[in-house]
Amino acid sequence: MKTLDADQLAALNNDLPLWRREGDIALLRDLTFADFKKAFAFMTDVAEVADRTDHHPEWSNVYNRVSVRLTTHDAKGLTQRDVALAHAIDAAAIQHDVELAA
């Protein structure tokens, strides 16, 4: 699996504006929901996508907050799999009423 090239990495700023980059190694996003139940429901939906695509996030949850880190360990960096999962996470966040200020 190939890591993203310099042009693809630069395009991430526009393509995934709610995500931060950890160099060319990972994508990071912190999300806040109304309560624990919404945060957990979001994580459950993302877990289904992750399992289907066999690409799993590194994440943590504290009450209504979820922190996500995406990287492709086998490639030792970011790949299209991370970009696709980031888009799925963004869609799930909207479905579960993520607080946009997060």
Domain regions of the chain by residue span: 6-95
Q: Which two tokens stand for residue 87?
A: 């888009």
52 Cβ partners below 8 Å, 6+ apart? none
Q: What is the pTM of this model?
A: 0.95
- Residue 101 has a pLDDT of 58
Mean of all residue pLDDT scores within the chain: 95
- Residue 88 has a pLDDT of 98
Instruction: Please tell me the distance from the alpha carbon of residue 20 to that of residue 29, in angstroms, as a whole number.
Output: 6
How many other CB atoms are there within 10 angstroms of residue 2's CB atom? 10
> What are the tens digits of pLDDT across the range 9-39?
999 999 999 999 999 999 999 999 999 999 9
Q: Which CATH superfamily is domain 6-95 in?
A: Transcriptional coactivator/pterin dehydratase (3.30.1360.20)
